[in-house]
Amino acid sequence: QQPVQSPQAVILREGEDAVINCSSSKALYSVHWYRQKHGEAPVFLMILLKGGEQKGHEKISASFNEKKQQSSLYLTASQLSYSGTYFCGTESGSQGNLIFGKGTKLSVKP
């Protein structure tokens, strides 16, 4: 079952913050966040496994709610290099399959 990402697109000025959400109708085993730049492969950002977990990666962090049905990716003091499409990938079954949302396109302007 495909997770739902919101918003579909965000335009920021350098230094502004953004939040990208990823939700599912049922509890998830894990949430994986990736960023893809145009014409390139998706690049791994982080995985969240436990309900209530929060994890950080420089100025990019993420949380996983207690019910394990929603995750949010936080980008603070955005930089030009943050531009790209962000995907959340979720596992909801026992097979280890990784299903991605439709992505959120982030554009950071000078």
Partner 1 sequence: NAGVMQNPRHLVRRRGQEARLRCSPMKGHSHVYWYRQLPEEGLKFMVYLQKENIIDESGMPKERFSAEFPKEGPSILRIQQVVRGDSAAYFCASSPFGTVSGGTEAFFGQGTRLTVV
The pair phi, psi for residue 53, each rounded to 5°, is -75, 145
Q: What is residue 106's DSSP assignment? A: E
Region near partner 1 per CB under 8 A, out of 16-24, 58-66, 68-76, 97-105 = 97-105
Which three-class secondary structure state does DSSP give residue 82? Answer: helix
Establish if 103 lies at the interface with partner 1 (CB under 8 A): yes
What is the three-state SS of 67-103? Answer: CCCEEEEEECCCCHHHCEEEEEEEECCCCCCCEECCC
- Residue selected from 18, 23, 24, 42 as contacting partner 1 according to rule CB under 8 A: 42
Region near partner 1 per CB under 8 A, out of 10-18, 27-35, 58-66, 70-78 = 27-35
In the bound state with partner 1, the residue whose beta carbon lies nearer, of 16 and 91, is 91
- Which tokens belong to 18? 């953004």
For partner 1, the binding residues (CB under 8 A) are 29-30, 32, 34, 40-44, 47, 49, 87, 89, 91, 93-103
